[in-house]
Amino acid sequence: MKVAYSPYELVSLFGKGKREGALLRFQFDDELVGYADCHPWPELGDAPLKKQLQLIKNYQTTSLTQRSLTFARLDAEARARNDSLFAGLKIPPSHLTIPSLERWKAIAVDRCVSLLKVKLGANLPDEVLLLYQLLEAYPWIRVRLDFNHQLTRNAFEKFLEKGIMNRIDFYEDPFPYEERAWKEVQEQYGVRLAYDRGTEQPKRSSAAIRIIKPAIQEVPSAEHFVVTSYLDHPIGQLAAAYVAALTTQETCGLLTHLVYEKNAFSERLRVNETILVPPTGGTGFGFDNLLLRVSWFNP
């Protein structure tokens, strides 16, 4: 197997700077060629991009690059058949993601949007005021809140007592997961807690919902889950959409190209109301001609 990479940057529309990743091109032993994404989040525990590339050069994989390899093989087989991986599939609807409440107006919201996902917890008093503004601006919308484990249980319960629970679909990672504590909070307040990723992945949890990121994990069986992208390159985004189309019709988080400045790949994506529409006319995950134009390097 031969591996090449093409580095890229994604520029946030929300004042979060630039993010680095790399497209991967795998030439398998049977000569099939497939493409995938590698977009690590070191702040969430992933090895940095340079380390990811060093490991894969030596045929060692992380949770991220193992999934890249899986998607690249799917892509390669579809390209060999001259087929799109999305032929006959129905991609589920998605919420819109707002990474920063301070700049929530950067995302255009229309009447077809029923769910927003908002990240908060870094400065909760100010964020609560901005959240009220958002809810007032869009009275028909419900919100999914992602705290990234930044609160304590006590702080989260005080937040719940502010009285906006009827507009909240679920609360993702409000405080570090502990089975009994999460169960008690859900029962006491009648809310749904969603588990994304912590230091350990419980095989079964008391969370009402599991957040699944196909970039780093497989879909579990017998759980209520929501599929989201890894806020990665459009190729990674489409890999998540492919998994979602195979496994659920729950409202997912697949429109994450909208949080970045446009690039040649994201310009090929369309949104039909709240459904991600892959590029037309391509094979595998698509972008056939663009993948031939980018520069490829040996790791």
Q: Look up residue 283 and give its DSSP letter.
A: S
Q: How many angstroms separate the CA atoms of 231 and 141, rounded?
A: 22
Verify that 184 and 58 share a domain, yes or no: no
225 falls within a domain: yes
298 lies in a domain? no
Model pLDDT for residues 198-227, shown as the tens digit of each residue: 545 555 578 899 999 999 999 887 678 999
Distances (CA, A) of 100 to 51, 126, 155, 246, 295: 29, 12, 20, 31, 33
Q: Give the pLDDT confidence score for residue 162 in this predicted structure.
A: 78
Distance CA 254, CA 299 (A): 29
| Averaged pLDDT for residues 174-186 | 94
Provide the domain count of the chain: 2
Quote the domain boundaries for residue 72.
2-84+288-293
Task: Please compute the mean of the pLDDT values over residues 253-279 and round it to a whole number.
Answer: 96
Residues 172 and 255 in one domain: yes
pLDDT of 118-156, one tens digit each? 988 778 888 888 998 889 989 999 999 999 899 999 999
pLDDT value at residue 199: 43
- Considering the domain boundaries, does residue 91 fall inside one? no
Same domain for 107 and 229, yes or no, is: yes
Where residue 164 sits, what CATH number does that domain have? 3.20.20.120
Residue 38 and residue 15 in one domain = yes
| Shared domain check, 132 and 45 | no
In the chain, the percentage of residues whose pLDDT exceeds 70 is 97
Question: Are 255 and 214 in the same domain?
Answer: yes
The verdict on 142 and 11 lying in the same domain is: no
The percent of residues above 90 in pLDDT, for the chain, comes to 74
Does one domain contain both 170 and 268? yes
CATH number, domain of 72, equals 3.30.390.10
Q: 264 and 134: one domain?
A: yes
pLDDT at 204: 57
Separation between Cα atoms, residue 257 and residue 269, nearest integer Å: 9
Residues 79 and 100 in one domain: no
